[in-house]
Amino acid sequence: MILNGEGQISIDFLLGISLFLLTFGFVIQFIPGLFISVSGEGSLNSVAYRTANILAEDPGWWENNTQNGTDWEMHTENISRIGLAMDKTPGTRQTRTPKMLDKTKIQQALKLNESILTKKLGLYDRISGTQVDYGYNISLLEQSGNIIVMNGSVVSFGEEPPISQGITKITRQVLVETGNISSFGFDELTNEPPLAEDKALFNISGPQSEDVVIQIIDFNVTVPGAASFNNAKLDGSDLTTDSDYIAYKRTNVTDFFIYSDPLNNTDTLRLIFNHTLFPLKTTYQLELKFTQMDFTRTGPPYIEYAARVEPLYEPASLVLKVWK
C-alpha cells in the first residue's frame, strides 16, 4: 500500500519553527534593554530616553529671525532646545564632544524657571488640546553618589521624586566641566635660588572667581618612602587645610583620596584652593613646601598658574527621573 503524505508537516519542521518563534519573541523583548536602562511604564520610557540623550549629547539650539546657534545659554529669550553638551563651534547644529557637559550651559539651565525647562525639554503631553506636564527630576551626581555643587548651587532640576508613584529612570555616564585646572610635571616647578629648600613658587593673578586647582605629576623623590607634601603659604602666610585648601593624592592604581604621606614618583598631587583667597586685582605668590624632593629649576620667573589653565572634566552620572 502506498501512503499519501500530502498535507502533512514533518516533526522537524514544527520543532524548528517553534524554536524560531520562541527565540524571536525573546529577542524582541530583550533588545530594548540593551539601549535603555529604565524602570517605569508606558510612553514615559521614550520621553525619558529622548530627554536624557538630548541633555547629554546635544549642545542645544536657539534662533530668531536673523541668527541662530548652539550657544543658547547666551540667548535665553530665543531658546529652541536645551542641551548641555559642550560645543566650540556655536554656528553648527552638532557637537564634537557628546557627553562632555559644559559648565556655563549647566549654570544657565539652573537659572531658568520650571515652565521654560518643561517646555524646551518636551517634558509634557497634550490631552484633548491641553498641556499636561510630567513631573521630573534631573540631577548630576559625583561618583560618590552626591549631587554635584557648582558655585554653591546643587546641580538638580525639577521636583523631589514621589515615593508611591511609578517612576521612569535613565542614567547617562558623562564628563562634567566642574572648573579649571593647571597641571605641571614636577621638573617644571620653580624654586628660589640656591635650591636650599624643597619648595615650589607659583604666581597667581587675581581676582579668581573659581577655585584654583593645581595638579602635579612625575615627582623627583630623593628618599623613597620619606617624601611628602607639607603645607602651603600665600604671600608668606600659612594656609589652613579644609578651610583654605584641600589636598588630594592619587596613586597609580586608585582614584583621588584625601592626601596622606608618603609621596612617590608615580603619584599625582591635586591641590584645590578656595577662590576667596584671591579677591584683588594683583599677583599673589603661592608657596608649596615639600620634603625629600629634588628641584632642578629656579626663578624668577616663577611658574604662572594662568599659563596652564584648562577646563577640568570629572566623571559623573546624569540621572533623569520622570513620572505622570
Note if the pTM is more than 0.85.
no
**Contact between residue 136 and residue 123 where contact means Cβ atoms under 8 Å apart:** yes
User: What is the rounded CA–CA span in Å between residue 169 and residue 319?
Assistant: 7
Instruction: Please report the pLDDT score of residue 38 as a whole number.
Output: 39
Q: Give residue limits of the domains in the chain.
A: 44-178+315-323, 196-294
Residues of the chain with pLDDT under 70: 1-10, 13-14, 26-42, 89-94, 195-196, 253-254
**Contact between residue 84 and residue 102 where contact means Cβ atoms under 8 Å apart:** yes
Instruction: Please report the pLDDT score of residue 7 as a whole number.
Output: 52
Residue entry with cell 559623573 = 316
Instruction: Please report the pLDDT score of residue 9 as a whole number.
Output: 59
Instruction: Please report the pLDDT score of residue 121 as a whole number.
Output: 94
Instruction: Please report the pLDDT score of residue 28 as a whole number.
Output: 62
User: What is the rounded CA–CA span in Å between residue 242 and residue 228?
Assistant: 18
User: What is the rounded CA–CA span in Å between residue 51 and residue 270?
Assistant: 35
Instruction: Name the CATH code of domain 196-294 (choices 3.30.450, 2.60.120, 2.60.40, 1.20.58).
Output: 2.60.120
- Got the DSSP string for 212-243? EEEEEES--BSSTTT-EEEEEEETTEEPPBTT
